[in-house]
Amino acid sequence: MEVKFLGHSCFLIEIEGNKILIDPFISGNPNINIDPLSLSANYILISHGHGDHIGDAVEISKHHKCPILANYEVAEYCKNKGAEAIGMNTGGAYDLGFVIVKFVHAVHSSRLPDGSYGGNPNGILFYNRDYSFYFAGDTALSTDMTLIPLIAPPLDFAILPMGDHYTMGIEDSIFTAQFIKCNKIIACHFDTFPDIMLDRDKAKALYKQNSIELIIPTIGDNISIKS
Ligand code: NI
Ligand code: MN
């Protein structure tokens, strides 16, 4: 399985030849200069309605005819803009064929770019026979995370926001890793804006102290995960 970091909270994940694009915020991200339409996937997943997560999802979905999976309100918004979308809600699972995705609770807000209500924000669990991982979305630390080890197979890794200010920061991401019983963390939601700059030395030191592996990816990095 390959995990490619495309800036902010955007990841292109390849599982057994199938691709999932998560939170494709490309054209609005000052740190990345690629054509969003050069990205394609079997499915696009969106964690919540904020513009730095919906990003270019509608355009990519329409161009490549790939469906969007998101909460009901975000899915309806995308459908109204001409994309194909499947509406979910917190607690629901959906079988993509090659992986099951389950929408879980995130503690955040969710408003769509046009100002309309964006439904509940989500984290997303992914699991199949070989792999299991958690994409936390934009969230604060929450005791609900202690449910994750009960409802999913043991996690191979988790993608957690770490830039603070709008989401959890470094310290709370350590508690999250402990709550979800995961010792391999990939950081996201940092450095895109001045108020979410990541203190790398502090993050590395705290993770080392807690014996948790931390990957702070650079845009374009490919992380290989073995089953
Ligand atoms: Ni957000
Ligand atoms: Mn965000």
In a domain, 146, yes or no: yes
Q: Identify the CA nearest to 94 among candidates 68, 76, 73, 119.
A: 68
* Angle at the Cα of 138 from the Cα atoms of 89 and 161, rounded to 5 degrees: 140
Residue 221: is its pLDDT beyond 90? yes
- Mean pLDDT estimate for the chain: 98
Cα 41 to ligand 2 centre (Å): 21
pLDDT at 157: 98
Cα 129 to ligand 2 centre (Å): 31
Residue 181: is its pLDDT beyond 90? yes
CATH, residue 51 = 3.60.15.10
Cα 7 to ligand 1 centre (Å): 15
3-state secondary structure the chain: CEEEECCCCCEEEEECCEEEEECCCCCCCCCCCCCHHHCCCCEEECCCCCHHHHCCHHHHHHHHCCCEEEEHHHHHHHHHCCCCEEEECCCCEEECCCCEEEEEECCCCCECCCCCECCCCEEEEEECCCCEEEECCCCCCCHHHHHHHHHCCCCCEEEEECCCCCCCCHHHHHHHHHHCCCCEEEEECCCCCHHHCCCHHHHHHHHHHCCCEEECCCCCCEEECCC
Q: Which residues does 221 contact at the CB level (< 8 Å), separation at least 6?
A: 4, 5
Token representation of residue 126: 């992914």
Q: Which ligand is nearest to the CA of 188?
A: 2
Alpha-carbon distance of 58 to 53, in angstroms, equals: 11
pLDDT at 171: 98
Cα 166 to ligand 2 centre (Å): 7
pLDDT at 54: 98
The range of the structural domain enclosing residue 134 comes to 2-218
Cα 222 to ligand 2 centre (Å): 22
Q: Which ligand is nearest to the CA of 192?
A: 2
Q: Which residues surround ligand 1, an ion (CB under 5 A)?
A: 50, 138
Mean pLDDT of 191-213: 98
pLDDT at 180: 98
* Model confidence pLDDT, tens digit, residues 92-140: 999 999 999 999 999 999 999 999 999 999 999 999 999 999 999 999 9
Side chain identity at 13, as an amino acid letter?
I
Q: Which ligand is nearest to the CA of 10?
A: 2
Cα 139 to ligand 1 centre (Å): 8
Q: Which ligand is nearest to the CA of 189?
A: 2
Alpha-carbon distance of 130 to 67, in angstroms, equals: 24
Q: Which ligand is nearest to the CA of 7?
A: 2
Q: Which ligand is nearest to the CA of 190?
A: 2
- What's the farthest any 2 CA atoms get from each other in the chain? 49
* Model confidence pLDDT, tens digit, residues 33-84: 999 999 999 999 999 999 999 999 999 999 999 999 999 999 999 999 999 9
**How many folded domains does the chain comprise?**
1
pLDDT at 155: 98
In a domain, 169, yes or no: yes
Contact criterion met (CB below 8 Å) for 98 and 123: no
Cα 162 to ligand 2 centre (Å): 11
Give percent of the chain above pLDDT 70.
Answer: 100
Give percent of the chain above pLDDT 90.
Answer: 100
In a domain, 226, yes or no: no
Token representation of residue 214: 């931390």
Cα 107 to ligand 1 centre (Å): 10
In a domain, 173, yes or no: yes
Cα 25 to ligand 2 centre (Å): 10
Indicate yes or no: pTM above 0.95: yes
pLDDT at 5: 98
User: In 10 A of CB 141, how many CB atoms?
Assistant: 19
Token representation of residue 219: 């845009």
In a domain, 227, yes or no: no
Cα 21 to ligand 2 centre (Å): 16
Q: Which ligand is nearest to the CA of 52?
A: 2
pLDDT at 227: 80
| Lateral strand order in the sheet of 68-71 | 85-88, 68-71, 43-45, 18-22, 11-15, 2-5, 222-224
